[in-house]
Structure 1
Amino acid sequence: MKTKYKILTFSLVFAFALGLSSCSEDFLQTVPTDSVSTDIALGSTDNMMLAINGIHRTLYAQNPDIVRFYAGQEYMIPAADFGASDALHSATGNGWFRSFIQWNSHTQATSNDVLYPWWFYYNVIGSANNIINAAADLQESEDLNNILGQAYTYRAWAHFNLVRFFAKPYMVGNPSSDPGVPIMLATEPPYEGLARNTVKEVYDQITADLGTAISHFANASDRPNISHLNVDVAKGVAARVYLTIGDWANAAKYAREARQGYTLMDEAEYKSGFNSVDNPEWMWGSKMITDQTAYFWSYFYYTSNNFNGSQNRSNPKFMNHQLYDMMSETDYRRDLILKDCPSTFDDWNKGENAGRYASEEEYEAAIDEYRVIVNNGSSHNMVPYLHIKLSQSDGPTISPMDVLHMRAAEMYLIEAEAQARQNKNTEAQNVLFELVSERDAGYTKSTKTGQALVDEILVQRRIELFLEGHRRFDMLRNDEELDLTNSGANPDLYLGGFKQAKPSENDDWLFQIPQREIDANPNMVQN
């Protein structure tokens, strides 16, 4: 695995250098950021915290040495939604994600769409490993426990993402024998290529790391801000993991514990754009710094309704029409999907506009009306079912918006689903009602049980977590087929991504192992 180990060797310096933005001026003057020794970088808890800050930064940092135009988790969140079923593209746009939604890029070993997540998540793991393995030389303290809690959580989180993208789903395949991804724990030589661990072995390591993280957080100092991880985030990741492997009791337990102390958004907060870590429901998010923006490679560039970039202007994203129809008319989340928005791709009486307007003047008036609602510019295209969930707070600009990684509503949904799958119907109904009644004044507590209740919860997941990076993984773990018939998607745009058989019958759901890894590592096998 020579290629990967070059990446991992680089990861400490990369993460540490990124973390320097929060250190003192004296340190910046005396330590060169391009030649940091391990002894200096990890010789104290202060410097370890700089390395942790560097990992936080990688979640939204570009790296021109790997794939210049991808920026950490800002790229991977839409990658987990596009090419699934709910957040849809309206046009070819400038080409971003076009091959991905057509199911071409992730099935090609030479594609950047498989190289980048492999590098990105192993880079996070390498940086976390450097911190974990150096900690034995330091005296225990609350700050060190904070650092180790974060490092173990990051290592678990990154392995979790890798095994979900590059291996068969735990509950669909045979986890004890299906090839997963290599478990990376060491930071010292010999640097030899490793074989793929089984899916079960990877998940066993993930759950062990999360248990260790939670133990460290029990005696840790407080996190300074929401960009850092804490015990709530560790438990939130654990809830995701246990849901994925079907350990319903632990999924419910950790989801319930993780969400304590967080307030569900009210209607005004829900409609404010999902762009600020000051939101009381957010558990973990990247606080963006103005001079560290990813510009046209940011999450909002790919997904927002009014970011001032060519991807948004030429390819507005809309909601699957069938999913929209599943929302109650009293559900205020429905207001974020503009069903009756005019299409600016068509003439006033053609295409999606046919039969809707009595005259061209009426059509132009509708465009003006919706420009105000969408808060975009005259060069932005619009389409029916356009979403306005993710918005630039200052209108059609390229200002950096904060990036959401975890919030309390997801924990309610995990707990509800896990309870329902244990046939604890009353508990599941109560948790679901607590969440959905906040979004929908007309919602009454569900009386469904068994699979019908699970199905209702899964629909609420699709609505609530729209464009937050969960849909692909939900389809994988629930063995769902992809069928965009009646969704509003253009089959000529989506091509192979319009219909795909369910994961248990179709290995194309798996990301290919990057060819660079195959070439460098004789122990690696391809999907």
Structure 2
Amino acid sequence: MKRPILISLMLLAILPLSSCKKFLEEQSQTDIIPRTASALNELLIGSAYRSTSLQDFMCFMDDDIVHNAYTPETRVRFGAYTWQPETAILPEQLAGARTWGIMYPMIMTCNMILEYTPKVTGTTTEIENVEGQAYLLRAYYYFMLVNYYGKPYTDRLSDPEQDLGVPLMLSGSLSLEGKPRNTVAEVYRQILSDLDKGIALMERSGTNNNLYRISHIAGYLLASRVNLYMGNWQKAVDAATNVLNRKSTLMDLPAWGSVNQNTKPVVDLRNPETIWGHGSPYEVILRTNEEKNYRLSDELLALFETGDLRRTIYISNASSIKYPGLIYSDKVGHTFRVSEALLNRAEAYAQLNKTGQAASAQLALNDLNTLRKKRFSGASYQDLGSTGADDLLQKCADERRRELFNEESHRWFDLRRSGMPAIRHIFHENNGQTLTYILQERDPAYLLQIPQSVLDNNPKLIPNPAPAVRSGQ
């Protein structure tokens, strides 16, 4: 089959036919070829950026969420909350059940755009802007995939050069059939390469995209996150500094005024520290009675100190109010925010301090305190200090948890890269009984299962070890 036919079939599978006709030139009944940078831009918007739910149920797996009480609803979230294998629940009730099937088509779209940018007409600025976005989006999707399905890069008991990650697909081909998993290290190398190319193209194009579009600043923030996860401390510092040199505005919670979840949500394009907004709010907003019977854990709530305004502006009735309570078409599910750049850099500085760079300790504290000054009431604020390298790293971890809970799987990823500790979840049954479900230290469930339907279609994919069916105690 010729490549143009592959492109045609994939586009028709992803996009409405009317949308295809609007920006693609028909060459024959089977071949549809993009001819202009504008056509590629519309393809990017329609098929490489997502508006569907993706990270389904992921927040129910970490230690920031607990079951509050019995509710006579279907137990859709039960499987994720108790870390059950696919054999014990319906496949669509797995955490991340939709992730593989949604991210790979978006990656294929990015691949097609990258293949066609040398062939289309348009200004250099237009072409480089679209090409840069495609590289950055592909980097982001592979970063999420490898952190869902592969072991942490810095896992002390394994080797990223040997650990299985996800298949790297770098062409516009539709088929994953016969493609084995690349190693974690190979996937990370591709992510870094895509980030370097995407950032350079976006900066050179000089186009100021709106916040719905990924930008070179978002690329630098992702680079700081990637290098932090890899243990490249100085590179994480440098990338975060590149973010802060370009955008450093923080939410000013002391001047926030009255809390209104719908008009002033934290995760929103109107937040002054937002760098990029993406995804669907449906995957994070509690909509059903079952979902509303989960709340933030006492452990998380206890981390908020006196005077920390996040305790009321981010939280109400032990539930997150970072997102609007009502769904509107212009809302997003996730954002890259300036606060993460400070947190990434603080942790990287703290790690450099632990390696012997003593001056980095104060730099880490400076970043933490810069954030905290915008999070506490003036009368209550006090600068953080540190009693040693391990204490400083714990302060960084606690601040990440306070700031980033219920966002973009941050807490789940932080647990994975900090040793995959044991977690206990309490579940309330209808007879008043409470059962305890345990995720053991380094449990197989710290890696998501590749869907069985995907494994059936590709015998070269080695599955992750399946966790055992869990019974409450």
TM-score if structure 2 supplies the norm length?
Answer: 0.82
Q: Is the 8 A contact 2:247 2:338 kept in 1?
A: no
Residues 115-163 of structure 1: CA distance to partner in whole angstroms, max 9, x if unpaired? 4111111111111001011112136711111111110011111111111
Matching residue of 2:168: 183
Mapped partners of 2:333, 2:248: distance in 1: 18
Matching residue of 2:282: 298
Residues 279-317 of structure 1: CA distance to partner in whole angstroms, max 9, x if unpaired? 111111149xxxxxx7xx813533xxxxxx4347x6244
Q: Is the 8 A contact 1:235 1:255 kept in 2?
A: yes
Which moves more between the two structures, 89-98 or 453-462?
89-98
2:151 is the counterpart of 1:168: yes
Q: 2:247 aligns with which of 252, 255, 261?
A: 261
Q: 2:413 aligns with which of 464, 469, 473?
A: 473
Mapped partners of 1:19, 1:99: distance in 2: 39
Amino acid at match of 1:277: L
Mapped partners of 1:473, 1:104: distance in 2: 19
Q: SS at 2:454's partner residue?
A: helix
2:365 is the counterpart of 1:429: yes
Q: Is the 8 A contact 1:8 1:122 kept in 2?
A: no
> Residue 402 of structure 1: CA displacement?
3.1
> Residue 191 of structure 1: CA displacement?
6.7
Matching residue of 1:12: 11
Mapped partners of 1:29, 1:258: distance in 2: 34
1:328-407 equivalences under 5 Å are: 328-336=305-313, 385-392=318-325, 397-400=326-329, 401-407=331-337
Matching residue of 2:215: 230
Amino acid at match of 1:390: Y
Mapped partners of 2:372, 2:266: distance in 1: 18
Q: 2:103 aligns with which of 113, 121, 135?
A: 121
Q: SS at 2:374's partner residue?
A: helix
2:94 is the counterpart of 1:103: no
> Residue 492 of structure 1: CA displacement?
5.6
Amino acid at match of 1:134: Y
2:37 is the counterpart of 1:45: yes
Amino acid at match of 1:102: T
Aligned pair in 2 of structure 1 residues 210, 497: CA closer, same or farther (>3 Å)? farther
1:86-97 equivalences under 5 Å are: 86-91=64-69, 93-97=73-77
Aligned pair in 2 of structure 1 residues 337, 522: CA closer, same or farther (>3 Å)? closer
Matching residue of 1:155: 138
RMSD: 3.3
Q: Is the 8 A contact 2:7 2:32 kept in 1?
A: no
Aligned pair in 2 of structure 1 residues 88, 399: CA closer, same or farther (>3 Å)? farther
Mapped partners of 1:495, 1:136: distance in 2: 61
Matching residue of 2:467: none
Aligned pair in 2 of structure 1 residues 18, 147: CA closer, same or farther (>3 Å)? farther
Matching residue of 1:354: none
Mapped partners of 1:136, 1:229: distance in 2: 21
Amino acid at match of 2:191: I
Q: Which runs of 5+ in 2 are unaligned?
A: 354-359, 465-473
Mapped partners of 1:87, 1:156: distance in 2: 29
Q: Which runs of 5+ in 1 are unaligned?
A: 1-5, 62-70, 288-293, 303-308, 339-373, 375-383
Aligned pair in 2 of structure 1 residues 43, 103: CA closer, same or farther (>3 Å)? same
Q: 1:502 aligns with which of 422, 435, 441?
A: 441
Amino acid at match of 1:483: I
Aligned pair in 2 of structure 1 residues 478, 461: CA closer, same or farther (>3 Å)? same
> Residue 189 of structure 1: CA displacement?
8.1
Q: Is the 8 A contact 2:129 2:207 kept in 1?
A: yes
> Residue 399 of structure 1: CA displacement?
3.5
Q: 2:181 aligns with which of 196, 219, 228?
A: 196
Aligned pair in 2 of structure 1 residues 491, 179: CA closer, same or farther (>3 Å)? farther
Q: Is the 8 A contact 2:427 2:435 kept in 1?
A: no
> Residue 404 of structure 1: CA displacement?
2.6
Q: Is the 8 A contact 2:136 2:198 kept in 1?
A: yes
Matching residue of 1:60: 51
Matching residue of 1:516: 453
1:233-244 equivalences under 5 Å are: 233-244=218-229
Q: Is the 8 A contact 2:176 2:458 kept in 1?
A: no
Matching residue of 1:290: none
The alignment covers a number of residue pairs equal to 431
> Residue 480 of structure 1: CA displacement?
3.5
Aligned pair in 2 of structure 1 residues 29, 167: CA closer, same or farther (>3 Å)? closer
Residues 83-136 of structure 1: CA distance to partner in whole angstroms, max 9, x if unpaired? 101133424554342211111156879723354111111111111001011112
Amino acid at match of 1:150: Q
Mapped partners of 2:18, 2:352: distance in 1: 44
Q: SS at 2:213's partner residue?
A: coil
> Residue 483 of structure 1: CA displacement?
2.7
Which moves more between the two structures, 493-502 or 80-89?
493-502
Q: Is the 8 A contact 2:24 2:39 kept in 1?
A: no
Amino acid at match of 2:441: K
Mapped partners of 1:29, 1:129: distance in 2: 18
Mapped partners of 1:29, 1:144: distance in 2: 15
Matching residue of 1:310: 288
Q: Is the 8 A contact 1:413 1:461 kept in 2?
A: yes
Mapped partners of 1:233, 1:412: distance in 2: 14
Q: SS at 2:276's partner residue?
A: strand
> Residue 502 of structure 1: CA displacement?
2.5
Which moves more between the two structures, 93-102 or 409-418?
93-102
> Residue 445 of structure 1: CA displacement?
3.1
Q: 1:251 aligns with which of 220, 233, 236?
A: 236
Residues 31-75 of structure 1: CA distance to partner in whole angstroms, max 9, x if unpaired? 79xx88441xx2210000001111355x223xxxxxxxxx23xxx
Aligned pair in 2 of structure 1 residues 311, 185: CA closer, same or farther (>3 Å)? farther
Q: Is the 8 A contact 1:90 1:316 kept in 2?
A: yes
Q: 2:396 aligns with which of 453, 457, 464?
A: 457
Mapped partners of 2:444, 2:189: distance in 1: 23
Mapped partners of 1:318, 1:208: distance in 2: 40
Mapped partners of 1:430, 1:36: distance in 2: 59
Mapped partners of 2:194, 2:85: distance in 1: 32
> Residue 217 of structure 1: CA displacement?
1.2
Q: What is the identity percentage for the equivalent residue pairs of Structure 1 and Structure 2?
A: 26
Residues 417-469 of structure 1: CA distance to partner in whole angstroms, max 9, x if unpaired? 01100102111111111011211241313234312101101001011011112
Q: Is the 8 A contact 2:268 2:323 kept in 1?
A: no
Matching residue of 2:343: 413
Q: Is the 8 A contact 1:128 1:151 kept in 2?
A: yes
Which moves more between the two structures, 453-462 or 316-325?
316-325
